[in-house]
Copies of this chain bind each other. A is one copy, B any other.
Amino acid sequence: MTSRYGPFKAAKVGPGDDCAVLEGDDRLLLLTIDTLVDGVHFDLASLGWRALGHMALAVNLSDIAAMAGEPLAAVISTAFPAKVTREEAELFADGVASCAVRWDAEIVGGDTVRSPVAAVTIALLGTVEPERVCLRSAARPGDKLFVTGTLGRREGARRMGEHLPVTPRLKEARALSASGVRCMIDLSDGLAADLRHVLEASGVGAIVDAAAVPVDEMTVKAAKAEGIDALSLALTGGDDYELLFTAPDAVAGAISKLAQKLGAAVTLIGEITASKEALLKTAEGKLLPLPEGGWDHFK
C-alpha cells in the first residue's frame, strides 16, 4: 500500500476509513483525528464549553468504535481566542474529562494555541485485535445491513434548538465484532453519505428498505414543524454517531438476540447487493436512488 506521502510500512489501513490501522505487536493500533471549528461544526454560544469538551472527545471515540476498537490515549489541541476565560477553559476540560473517564480514554498531552476562532482537535489512539477490526471495505453482496439507535436524532434536535450529547457506541461495537461483524462505519455525515462510503470502499451496492429505517421521534417532530419529509431528514441528517454495519446471514441471525442482551436498539434496514448502486425501496416496493447528500461540512 502506498500514498502520495510515500510507501506504507507501519500502516495496514491508511486514509479512508474511520481510523488508520497500524501494526502493533499483538493488537493493531488505531489512530484518528477530528477537528471541530466554532461556527462550522458547532455554535459555541448555544453549545457551551462543557458540552464542547465532551463532544470533541466523543466524536473521536465514535471513530474508534467504528473499527471495533478500544480507546487507549488521546492528545488535545485547543485553539482558543484570547478572550476565553480561565473558567471557560476549565469547563471545557471538565467536559473532556467526564467523557474520558466514562469511556476509559487517557488524555496524555496536548497543545494550547491562540486563534481568532475557537477550534478543538483531538487525536485518539486505540487498539483492536487483528481478527476483530471492522473496516468499511468488508461489505459483501448478500450481507444484511443494520443500524444502531435511531436516525436523524441530532439533526432533529438541532432544528428544535436542542443539543444532545454524543454517546460513542463502543460497547455495542465490541459486542458486534465479537459476534462476527467485520464491516462497520459510524454515522457522522448521515446514513445516505456514510453508506456510500461503505459501498465505495467495498465495491458493492445496497438496497435500503424505507419502511424499516428507524426515524427518530425528534426528527419526526422537526420535520412536521418545518413541513418537510422526516425520512429524508433521517437519511441525510448528520451527527447521529450511530453504527452502520453489515453481517452475512450466518452472523445476522444472532444480531437481534445480541441487541436485546446489550439493551441496544439494532435495526435491519436493508441488504448489500452486487450492483454498486445505492437504492431506496419505498413502502410501495419501488426502487429509487438513495437521496444524495448528507451533512456537508462545506455548505
Residues of A within 8 A of B (CB): 3-6, 8-11, 13-17, 19-20, 22, 24-26, 29, 31-37, 39-41, 72-73, 75-77, 79, 82, 93, 96-97, 100-101, 104, 106-111, 113-117, 119, 121, 123, 125, 297-298
Name the CB-closest residue of B to A15: B109
Nearest-neighbor residue (CB-CB) of A98 within chain B: B5
Known A32-B109, A73-B22: A82·B298 in contact at CB below 8 Å: yes
Q: A31-B123, A32-B109, A34-B77 are in contact. Are A6 and B97 (CB under 8 A)?
A: yes
Q: Chain B nearest CB: distance from A285 CB in Å?
A: 39
When distances are taken between beta carbons in the complex, the residues of chain B under 8 Å from A97 are: 4-6
List residues of chain B with CB within 8 A of the CB of A101.
5-6
Q: Could you tell me the distance between the alpha carbons of A36 and B111 in the complex, rounded to whole angstroms?
A: 10
In the bound complex, what is the Cα–Cα distance between A109 and B25 (angstroms)?
A: 21
Give Cα A3 to B101, complex, Å: 11
Docked CA distance A110–B19 (Å): 9
A37, B111: Cα distance in complex, Å: 12
Task: Give chain B residues whose Cβ lies under 8 Å from the Cβ of A115.
Answer: 35, 37, 40, 117, 119
Closest 4 interchain pairs by CB? A123-B123, A20-B108, A25-B25, A5-B107
Q: Is the interface of A mostly helix, strand, loop or mixed?
A: strand
Complex CA gap A22/B39 in Å reads: 35
Nearest opposing residue in chain B for A72, CB measure: B10
Chain B residues in 8 Å Cβ range of A19: 109
Cβ-closest chain B residue relative to A107: B5
A235: shortest Cβ distance to chain B, in Å? 23
Q: Could you tell me the distance between the alpha carbons of A24 and B100 in the complex, rounded to whole angstroms?
A: 20
Which residues of B are found within 8 Å of A113, using beta-carbon distances? 35-37, 40-41, 297
Shortest CB-to-CB span from A91 to chain B, Å, is: 12
* Min distance, Cβ A199 to any Cβ of chain B, angstroms: 20
Q: Per a CB cutoff under 8 Å, which of B20, B36, B79, B125 touches A35?
A: B79
Cα–Cα, bound, A125→B24 (Å): 12
A116 x B114 contact (CB < 8 A): no
Residue of A19, A100, A110, A121 contacting most chain B CB atoms (<10 Å): A121
In the bound assembly, the distance between CA atoms of A8 and B4 in angstroms comes to 36
